[in-house]
Chains A and B, each alone.
Chain A
Amino acid sequence: MEIGAYSFGDTQRGPDGSSRSTAEAIKNLFDAIVLADRVGLDYFGVGEHHTASMPASSPGALIAAAAAATTQIKLGSAASIIGTDDPVRVFQQFATADAISGGGRIEITAGRGSSVETFPLFGFDLNDYDELYAQKLDLLLTLNNSRAENVTWSGTVRPPIPNLAVVPRPVNGSLPIWIATGGSAPSSARAGRLGLPISYGIIGGQPHRFAPLANLYRQSAQQAGHTGNNIKVSVATFGLVAPTKQEAIDRLYPGWVNLNLEMGKLRGWPAPQRRDFLAQVDAPNAYYVGDPDDVAERIVDLHRHLGHMRHFLQGDHGGLPQEHLLESVTLLATEVKPRVARLLAAK
């Protein structure tokens, strides 16, 4: 089981609650990735977001920088909002990072995005949402599966590519391309039919309820004739690791409040309540916040239901102090990962 972390960037807050700079947030994220590599974490994901509090707008640029500063960790987007980007540029940026990394450590996760900021930002019409995603995923896969530098593609959402060079090619021929989904059944079936690995973002409820979806994904793949190493499941959840469970809860809570206040203002939610937070922090619920034993046991328990090969956590939002992110990343690599390996081996 691979253990990892992911982030959308987390703008720090001053003592009076005011936001610090978004540039600092990007540098902090870079530093966290470099540390994650040094302490032995398996994976770090950077999720494309375009808000002042979550400013990781350009996973390709950040991952290219991180590729140069790391040696073993796998790096990927989590996710790239391909519907409103140009898949040619996304592919080229990640293939460039792949070249810098030495090859084999760079992945793309294609997603629709859980919010719609990129539509007005890049001038797209929400009525075209499904068509943009479907065609641009097709283009991204066409580029990735191409054996040659020159590629031919045509569609309606982007000018055609008549036998043009799209370079560089990935070191190992192609990049792992994952499909991200929040858990709709048709998305699971589609990823299976495409024969692509699937990444579930589970942000609430009870994660083990995703078991039928993972089953649908695997059976859809099998029915379409896809087998082998590309048929695999990863899971992204909210979470934070600290020396004790109480510390983890106390560290994560203020940022959770900030995040929910901000989203609530936008979405008309009532003020977040501590009891709603606490209702999520224990098994079998969705927040993997705890000490290394607790988080490891819950990852292994979820593995019984989903059979996932990678579990990665996000705890940095609403201004989580950087040192708490760094400690969580370190504990994930040095304490959670060996426990998970031991528990899985004992099964």
Chain B
Amino acid sequence: MSSNDETTIGILGAGRVGTALARQALKAGYQVRIATTQPAADNALLVDIVTPGALAVESSQAAASDLVVLAIPLHKYRTLNPDSLAGRIVIDAMNYWAPVDGVFDDFESDARTTSEVVEGFLQHARVVKSLNHIGYHELEEDDRPAGDETRRALALAGDDDEAKALVASFIDRLGYDAVDAGPLAAGRSFQPATEIFTGSHTANQLVALIQKARPLAVAA
């Protein structure tokens, strides 16, 4: 694992998911930038203490990274800037979880998956849905080296093969097997309340669950 990797990871959101992801990406040797809706200077202390090694930046700088992770509460997705994310590879790690976060019309009245709604809003970003079905503290505890037979797998879904390849390698370096679930719409198989979302699975188990869900995903 290279410690002087040039690949930059931009994380939007400094909550529990964003900071856990930042630490795990730092551990994997990536350069990590974190931004929130606050000015970078306001996050400097937070980043120094909670994700040492990362940089606090403005959100436009985070968006200019090789990989951008969306780790804000989903219902705030309209605060994202479509222009700064145009052409970018964006991992949507967000979830719509009405029993916890409340009911929002944007997702109730739309038959698409939440990641498709987000992609529709961002317009020109290359959205990959992933990292949404692992708990934020599990992310830093369940990682295993490649080849370990108990290694946990994470699903990804997207419509851009090049973007998916980069995300798959990112997931692998975070310590997880990446399993391609198909196009972005197939992310339905690992949204909240699905068997994939609520459990922990190896790659073989995950492949089987995705196949089991596939007819449903196509029908929907």
Contacts and interface: CB of A to CB of B under 8 A. Distances in A.
B202 to A, nearest CB: 17
Contacts of B19: 185
Interface string B189-213: 0001111011100000000000000
How many interface residues does chain A have, given as a range?
Answer: 20 to 34
B198 A126 contact: no
Interface residues of B, number: 28
Interface in A44-87: none
Nearest to A184: B15
A269 B14 contact: no
Contact of B137 (A127, A205, A215, A220): A205
B101 interface: yes
Contact of A223 (B36, B38, B45, B100): B45
Given A185-B14, A267-B193, A270-B199, A126 B49 contact: no
A22 to B, nearest CB: 21
A166 interface: no
Contact of B46 (A127, A182, A189, A269): A189
A180 to B, nearest CB: 15
Nearest to B137: A205
A216 B75 contact: no
A261 interface: no
Interface string A182-218: 1111101100000000000000111001001101100
A267 B137 contact: no
B215 interface: no
A299 to B, nearest CB: 20
A186 B73 CA distance: 13
Nearest to A217: B49
Contacts of B45: 189, 216, 219-220, 223
Interface of B: 14-16, 19, 36, 38, 45-46, 49-50, 75, 97, 99-104, 135, 137, 141, 192-195, 197-199
- List the 4 closest pairs (A to B, CB-CB), nearest first: A268-B193, A205-B137, A126-B102, A116-B102
